Amino acid sequence: MSVNPVLEAARPARQAVLAPRPFRFREWLERESVFSWLLLTPPLLFLIAFLGYPFCYGFYLTLVSRPIAQPATFVGLGNFEKLWADPIFWKAVQNTIVFTGAATVLKLVGGLGMALVLHQHFRMKGITRAVLLLPFIVPTVLSTVAWQWILDPGMGLFNRSLINLGLVTKAQAPSWLGNPTLAMVSVILVNSWRGLPFFGITILAGLQTIPPELHETATIDGAGTWGRFRHVTLPLLMPVILIVTTFSVIITFFDFQLVYVLTGGGPANATHLMATYAYSISMGGGQLGLGSAAALAMVPVLGAVLIFMNSYVRRT
Amino acid sequence: MDGTRRGFLKLSAAGAAGATIGAGWRPRKASAKPEKITFIRESSYVKEFDEHFNKVLIPRYQQETGIKISYEIVAAGGSAVPRNVAIVESKAPVDAGWVQQEWLYREGLLDVSDIAEAVGKEQGGYYPAITELSKWNGKWYSVPFGNIGQCMAYRRDWFEQAGFKKFPDTWDEFLDAGRKLKKAGHPFGMSMGHGYADNNSWLLPLLWSYGGQVVAKDGKTITLDSAETAKAVDYVRTLYKEACIDDCVGWLDPANNKAYLTDQISCTNNAMSILISAKRDLPETGKVTDHGLNPKGPKGRFHSLVAVTHGVFKHTADPEAAKHFLRWLMAPKQVGDWYRSAQMYHAPYLRGYDKDPEWNKEPRFKPYLELLETAKLISWPAPADRRAGEVVSKWVVVDMFAKAATGTPTKTVIAEAVAGLKAIYG
């Protein structure tokens, strides 16, 4: 049997390949499947601890009657049945939908306008952009307390301005937080004021990604300002608008601080939202089970709102 | 030190004899002392009150026993109750403290019957209304402290200008005064929003004084739907329309202070805080501010309690130590000066302080002592249990009046309130 010298020379190398390589920790770490999990684990643990566990515990609470400092008794869907028959709960659902809907539309329209203005070139653009972010940066509780003063009937900024401009007399000055309809208008306004920069800045970011060539082409084709906005800017902004609106709907839907500080859900439940009502059942009424059910009930309602929104956007 | 140790021994013995002391109870050696006791309390409106605790009481206790007291202050204005609920639920390392609205979490408190009874015996006994909150099924779960009283704060100068030399004695006279004052540009501001104290403290006494009651003494029968309630509701609607500032229907607790101190209203139901702030910051307003008892109705005069009591959390690591501190704190030597440090802002539930010279320093505060005679718990006449708390926190009764004030017919608002009560009382 003749021996091929070339093959013989390669043998040790082949053997080395076939033999199990010693385990190297560093190499193991660098494997994509390991490394990606390594990066994912801390946030995952964080989410499980601070979101997963409370959510599951909250879900469990919805199925029991659990007064504070007392043992739980299983009631099945009893809590939801109670809520179903509770007129204040339905009032809160209605308020939450009106509040979220109106505030989101206001923020969207206002935010779009704000972004279009900020997209122009003018002096002190940077500072203006920073200042317009303020409502979003100031802690909600703090700004809401300021709003409480602004909306004060006798000495608040709103009514003082109305009186000084001669639009109303002192006796006619509106009660912003005392009239049930105006109270809802006020909380919607304050929420819109606070959320406007989020829309404005995000849409501005979207605007900046639209290539100027498209506008130039449209101009050459004879499109005016409105035409360019309607047929170039808006369609290209749509994905950004959809995302920012979805985020905003979720955040607005769960809003608690603003109403809690400004009206406590009053007068006569005119501004009670699902979140404030769930809180008052749990922490004020001591019914942790029923309160959790009211809180969890927000999820399907919000889901329905988001599905409706999504299908509407697709249709248009 | 010897005396203290004996005190500890005595308390341990009393505690052991005091039959059931919740799950947190474990026997301990009299010599084993904790390093620190954490005592939680809502920050007082009168800052001298907290200062007295920090600068006088804590050092004194440490000197006498060697135990440090950590005084955890929670912001006033409604955050103390949720904090207590959270402490009870999470078994946070807090030993004792202010317990308000304990109907929510009485099961999380330790039996302190020995302390409450000893303190009562030593200092003239308690006003009976408060025992219905602190004493439950024959045992005390809190030691009554003081009442943040609520009555009418009013502008004496404007009332005099309108022809009222004295504060109105009946609700009818009150309405009459309100009409005249509103015409003169000084409306009343009677809170009806989603607060806790300033709304309930006149609406419930008004309801009671017309003969209306929310739930009967048995804690089962809903008694709200009555001709008397209807009269009270009609009265509030008229009062709101003809005598009040529009805004008051949505007011939270701080709003009436703000409106009064900025000359927007001539009368409101409030604690002592308006006069205290006025004297401090607006002396001109302070001079013309006075207090009047709630007016009388066909069934008499009523007030409601805004109760402050102290209790020991069941989960405390060292029940005896916490109880020892509470007993020490409520002894006349400590508690008397503590009351006085806040000018009796917390009107003592202990009758031994009825004739305390501190009451004579500012005669305008005296109604806050007098009202204790006619004051009831806001659950009255029903038991002060969790359900009564739910009625309060869902604003069932307050909203009945607020809806009427904003135009809903009397029958509808009563029916809606009864439906709300049924959901709670089943």
pLDDT in tens, A205-256: 999 999 989 989 999 998 888 999 999 999 999 989 988 999 999 999 999 9
B412 touching chain A per CB within 8 A: no
Residue among A73, A88, A151, A271 with most chain B CBs within 10 A, to mutate? A88
Q: Rounded to 5 degrees, what angle do the CA atoms B45, B46, B47 make?
A: 105
CATH of the domain at B61: 3.40.190.10
Give the number of other CB atoms < 10 A from CB of residue A289.
Answer: 24
Q: Which residue has the higher pLDDT, A306 or A249?
A: A249
The SS3 call for residue B44 is: coil
Same domain for B130 and B169, yes or no, is no
Domains contained in chain A, CATH given: 79-315 (1.10.3720.10)
**Radius of gyration for the alpha carbons in chain B, expressed in angstroms and rounded:** 22
8 A C-beta contact, residue B395 and residue B416: no
Q: Which of B334, B364, B394 is the last residue of a domain?
A: B364
Q: Tell me if B252 and A264 make a contact (CB, 8 A cut-off).
A: yes
Structural tokens at position B415:
């029916």
pLDDT tier at A14, thresholds 50, 70, 90: low
Torsion of CA B110, B114, B117, B119, to 10 degrees: -90
In this prediction, residue A223 carries a pLDDT of 87
> Is residue B378 one of the residues assigned to a domain?
no
Any domain includes B318: yes
Cβ–Cβ contact B149 with A under 8 A: no
Which positions in chain A have a beta carbon within 8 angstroms of at least one beta carbon in chain B?
67-70, 82, 85-88, 152-155, 175-180, 183, 263-269, 280-281, 283-288
Same domain, B299 and B311: no
In a domain, B162, yes or no: yes
Q: What pTM was estimated for this model as a whole?
A: 0.87
pLDDT tens sequence across A37-63: 999 999 999 999 999 999 999 999 999
The per-residue pLDDT for B24 is 37
B397-B402-B404-B406 Cα dihedral, nearest 10 degrees = -170
* Residue carrying structure tokens 């004493």: B135
Q: Are strands B135-136 and B139-140 parallel, antiparallel or unpaired?
A: antiparallel
Q: Tell me what percent of chain A is helix, strand and coil, each rounded to the nearest 5.
A: 75, 0, 25
> Does residue B18 belong to any structural domain of this protein?
yes
ipTM: 0.85
Q: Could A268 and B402 be called an inter-chain contact, meaning their C-beta atoms sit closer than 8 Å?
A: yes
* Mean pLDDT split into 10-residue runs, chain B, 426 residues: 40 39 41 84 89 96 94 82 90 92 93 97 96 95 96 97 96 97 96 93 97 96 97 98 95 93 96 93 96 97 95 95 96 96 95 95 95 95 93 95 96 96 90
pLDDT digits (tens, 9 = 90+) for A77-103: 999 999 999 999 999 999 999 999 999
Give the pLDDT of residue A8.
61
In a domain, residue B40? The reply is: yes
Instruction: Measure the CA angle with vertex B101, ends B97 and B104; round to 5°.
Output: 100
Q: Is B399's Cβ below 8 Å from some Cβ in A? A: yes
Q: What pLDDT score does A27 carry?
A: 85
Indicate if B330 and B220 belong to the same structural domain.
Answer: no
Q: What b/e readout covers B284-311, taking b as 16+ CB neighbours within 10 angstroms?
A: ebbeebbbbbbbbbeeebbbbbbbbbbb
Q: What is the pLDDT of residue B18?
A: 38
pLDDT band of residue A301 (cuts 50, 70, 90) is confident
B259 and B317 assigned to the same domain: no
Residues B95 and B308: beta-carbon distance below 8 Å: no
pLDDT at residue B79, as a whole number: 75
Q: Tell me, yes or no, whether B293 and B155 share the same domain.
A: yes
* DSSP conformation class of A223: -
Nearest to A285 among B194, B252, B389 (CB): B389
- Return the pLDDT at B139: 96
One-letter amino acid at B385 equals D
Checking if the pLDDT of A299 tops 60, the result is yes
Say what the pLDDT of residue A26 is.
Answer: 85
Two structure tokens written together for B388: 């009564």
Give tens-digit pLDDT for A273-291. 999 999 999 988 889 999 9
Full domain range(s) for residue B37: 2-148+306-364
Cα–Cα distance for residue pair A170/A251, rounded to 1 Å: 37
Q: Are residues B292 and B176 in the same domain?
A: yes
> Does residue B252 belong to the interface with chain A, where contact is any CB pair within 8 Å?
yes
CB spacing of B394 vs A183 below 8 angstroms? no
Q: Which of B88, B106, B250 sits opposite A267 (nearest CB)?
A: B250
Looking at the complex, does the CB of residue B81 fall below 8 Å from at least one CB of chain A? yes
Mutating which of B102, B246, B264 best tests the A interface, going by the most A Cβ atoms within 10 A? B246
| Percentage of residues of chain A with pLDDT beyond 90 | 63
Q: Quick one: B295 and B274 in the same domain?
A: yes
d(CA B191, CA B199): 5
Residues B345 and B357 in one domain: yes
Q: CA of A259: which chain B residue's CA is closest?
A: B194
Average pLDDT, chain A: 89
Do B291 and B313 share a domain, yes or no? no
Which residues, 6+ apart, have CB-to-CB distance to B53 below 8 Å?
B41, B71, B338
Q: What distance in Å separates residue A26's CA from the closest CA in chain B? A: 43
One-letter identity of residue B144: P
Q: B136 and B250 share a domain?
A: no
Do B219 and B238 share a domain, yes or no? Answer: yes
pLDDT-based confidence at residue A172 (cuts at 50, 70, 90): confident
Contact across the interface for A286 and B403, Cβ inside 8 Å = no
Q: Has residue B372 been placed in a domain?
A: no
Rg (CA), chain A: 29
Number of domains, chain B: 2
Residues B177-183: contacts with CB under 8 Å, at least 24 apart: B177/B243, B177/B267, B178/B239, B178/B242, B178/B243, B178/B244, B178/B267, B179/B242, B179/B243, B181/B243, B181/B266, B181/B267, B182/B242, B182/B243, B182/B244
Nearest to A68 among B104, B249, B394 (CB): B104
Q: B133 and B168, same structural domain?
A: no
Distances (CA, A) of B408 to B190, B194, B248: 18, 18, 17
d(CA B198, CA B191): 6
